Amino acid sequence: MKPTVTALLVAPAVVLMFGVFLLPFLFLVVLSFWYQTPGSLSLDTNFTLANYARILGDSYFLGGLWTTLWLSAVVTVICLVLSLPLARWIVRRAGRSKGLLIGLSILPLVCGALLPTLGLVNLLSPLGFINGLLKSMGIIKTSLPLLGNVLGVAIGLVQAFLPLMILPLITAIEGIPVDYEKAAMSLGAPRLQVWRRVLLPLMLPGIVAGSLLVFCASLTAFVTPQVLGQGKVVTFASLAYQQAALVLDWPFASALAMVMLAFLLLAGALGAFVTRSLARSA
Amino acid sequence: MKRIACYSAALAVCLLPCLPAVAQDYSGHTLVVGTWGGDIERLLREHVAGPLEARTGAKVEFLLGGSGDRMAKMVAERNRPTMDVTFQNIYEAPAALQEGLVVAPDAALVPNAANVWPGMNDGCYAMSLNGLGIAYSKAVFPETPEWADLWKPELKGMMAYAPYPSSEGDGMLGVAARVAGADEHNPDAAFAKLAELGSPKLSYSSLDEVLSLMDAGEIAAAPMISGYVLSNLQNYAGIGFVFPKNPGPVLVRDMVCQVANGPEPELAQMFIDLALSVETQTAYANELNFGPTNSQVTLSSEQSERVIDTPDEVASLLQLDWPYVIAQRSAWTDRWNKEIMGQ
């Protein structure tokens, strides 16, 4: 295909990306260095680092950042632990149901964040299914606090982002010949050792990709922490929403978003570094 | 025959000024109205948008969401607004006027504005009156509570609040300040007193969520806007609502605004006029329990008891210094996050 034809075919997507993503994003960057005039909706457009200084100088915002980071890390580890056996089972054992199971596992991705999260509210609330069941069985007398805390948010994030881990792992396992596992077992390797010495090293690119996806998605998640955290779990996305939509301090909300973006880029760079290292050592 | 024609002509001349100024055909025009969803949208469709569409041929399109989103939209579209009418709350309307985002109320353009109780068209046109009272669990409070009763030690950590910033949160700070013997101009006293209630059990985003938990006694009480609670009480036998006396309930007012430089100013004025009409205001009171601002509205004595519908009642309500409160918004949000939510 001629370069001019290629350029023409690519042009609509480039224009669209520039207009609806890059341009607003650049504005967001600039906005984060402006300042909201106190008690007014007007913006002071002189360059300032005040918003960033406010974030870095206030233990509340740093605490919110720390909570967001470690919550994302914990969710990533839980998703990985749950997905490893599930992905292998789907690839090796599911047989004809494989397509159906893959479809079911990506269901949380296609239904959006809100509906499953509201479903979880019904499950986890003090009057919800889990507390009701435990009470009716006489195991508890007062409701367990499953909402409005980190536990509830972590449950929601794992439910929401499990598919982002499962799919890369399925791809990784599909690339490993089943004979490798059989050979290891025929030489007397216990099942755990097969996982440790054979499967996990060969699945590493998939593990890195899945972990990166889940970590980044958890870092920027808004709906799930907002609904299940009930305002009591402070994450950076919920802080940015509060500042942008309720306080109407858009420069500060933009600065919060930029800090989040910095950590996303950091996570991406780390993932790329690990992937390159793995490729070199392969 | 000639006489009949003369009488007809004379009658037509006499009636001409009485005809609504909507003879103009607005077919092909679209009026964009930003408001809250649910019952408010339904009522506006039935009593305002429907008649306006029938009379003018125009189409009314609703943008549903929170009032903060609409403020953000007005600021972002300051030079070329796409919204014509917006519903804001009591503290946003004066701020929007001050920023030049909305048109100042004018009874010459919106005739029903002249019927609104004096002094209420502050920033925009006053749409409805509500009071911030106490929604409470009857299992926790066998007797109707006063504000001070919320500070009983055994109830610590059993409150629910709307997300801050909000009319409910600011109202509760104003109440806490007064319980502490001060007012909202002393935020240290307000926050310290409110912090004594403990971190809330719930920061609710849905009315059903908080009312279900309150009905079950899991939540003791919540400061809530009267109209929203009263309309739902029939579904929850275990919940009561009271306008406390010391201090009185905090005045909360919904406002309807004409967006400055909006694409359809005439339709916007007609929409607002219909929204302020006796018929719409009566429906607001009877169906939503939102107090009418139109002084010509007459409610049944039973319904009048449930809503705030006279200037005397309004005078008995606690009115916050909203310009001062708005100026503290950012600082108070940080304090709310740290001192109230983050305990």
pLDDT at B150: 97
pLDDT at A281: 74
| A106 vs B171: which has the higher pLDDT | B171
Residue A10 within any structural domain of the chain? no
Query: For residue A83, which of A101, A97, A99 has the smallest C-alpha distance?
Result: A101
| B70 vs B1: which has the higher pLDDT | B70
CATH number at residue A229: 1.10.3720.10
Question: Which chain B residue lies closest to A38 (C-alpha atoms)?
Answer: B327
Chain A closest CA to B169's CA: distance in Å? 12
Strands B250-258 and B85-89: antiparallel
d(CA B48, CA A236): 41
Is B213 in CB contact (< 8 Å) with chain A? yes
ipTM for the predicted complex comes to 0.83
pLDDT single digits (tens) A2-17: 788 999 999 999 999 9
pLDDT at B12 over 70: no
pLDDT at B24: 79
pTM: 0.84
**Which of B71, B333, B341 has its CB closest to that of A232?**
B341
pLDDT at A65: 95
Q: Token pair for residue A30?
A: 């600039």
Mean pLDDT computed over every residue of chain A: 92
**Which of A60, A127, A230 has its CB closest to that of B337?**
A60
pLDDT at B284 over 70: yes
Chain B closest CA to A106's CA: distance in Å? 28
Q: Residue B35: enclosing H or E segment and its boundaries? A: strand B30-35
Cα separation values, B21 from A202, B103, B266, B273, Å:
77, 20, 10, 12
**Which of A38, A42, A234 has its CB closest to that of B327?**
A38
pLDDT at B5 over 60: no
pLDDT at A280: 80
Q: Which residues, numbered 77 to 96 in chain B, qualify as contacts with chain A under a Cβ-Cβ cut-off of 8 Å?
A: 95
pLDDT at B21 over 60: no
pLDDT at B190: 98
Spell out which residues of chain B touch residue A234, defining contact as CB-CB under 8 Å. 337, 341-342
pLDDT at B23 over 80: no
Contact A41 B218 (CB under 8 A): no
Tally of domains within chain A: 1
pLDDT (mean) for B75-104: 93
CB atoms within 10 A of CB A195: 18
Residue A84 within any structural domain of the chain? yes
In chain B, what are the domain boundaries?
27-128+252-309, 130-251+318-341
Spell out which residues of chain B touch residue A226, defining contact as CB-CB under 8 Å. 205
DSSP tag of B162: P
Spell out which residues of chain A touch residue B213, defining contact as CB-CB under 8 Å. 125-127
pLDDT (mean) for A119-128: 92
pLDDT at B245 over 60: yes
pLDDT at A30 over 80: yes
pLDDT at A46 over 50: yes
Residue A144 within any structural domain of the chain? yes
pLDDT at A201: 92
pLDDT (mean) for A52-71: 95
**Lowest-confidence range among A260-264, B3-7, B62-66, B231-235?**
B3-7
Domain B27-128+252-309 class in CATH:
alpha beta
pLDDT at B20: 45
pLDDT at B7: 53
Domain of A77 in residue numbering reads as 48-281
Chain A closest CA to B59's CA: distance in Å? 28
Q: How many residues does chain B have?
A: 343
pLDDT at B205: 81
Residue A23 within any structural domain of the chain? no
pLDDT at A265 over 60: yes
pLDDT at A217: 96
d(CA A26, CA B292): 46
Helix (H) and strand (E) counts in chain A:
15, 2
The fold of B130-251+318-341 is: D-Maltodextrin-Binding Protein; domain 2 (3.40.190)
B186: CB partners within 8 A, 6+ apart:
B177, B180
pLDDT single digits (tens) A200-251: 999 999 999 999 999 999 999 999 999 999 888 999 999 999 999 888 899 9
Mean pLDDT computed over every residue of chain B: 90
Residue A149 within any structural domain of the chain? yes
| B311 vs A243: which has the higher pLDDT | A243
pLDDT (mean) for A176-182: 94
pLDDT at B22 over 50: no
Spell out which residues of chain A touch residue B338, defining contact as CB-CB under 8 Å. 60
Residues above pLDDT 70, as percent of chain A: 99
d(CA B28, CA B47): 21
Q: Which residues partner with B291 through β-bridges? A: B129
pLDDT single digits (tens) A80-92: 999 999 999 999 9
Is B319 in CB contact (< 8 Å) with chain A? no
d(CA B83, CA B90): 19
DSSP tag of A242: I
Residue A11 within any structural domain of the chain? no
Q: For residues A168 and A221, is the Cβ–Cβ distance under 8 A?
A: no
Contact A248 B327 (CB under 8 A): no
pLDDT (mean) for A21-34: 95
Question: Which chain A residue lies closest to B164 (C-alpha atoms)?
Answer: A246
pLDDT at A72 over 80: yes
pLDDT at B270 over 50: yes
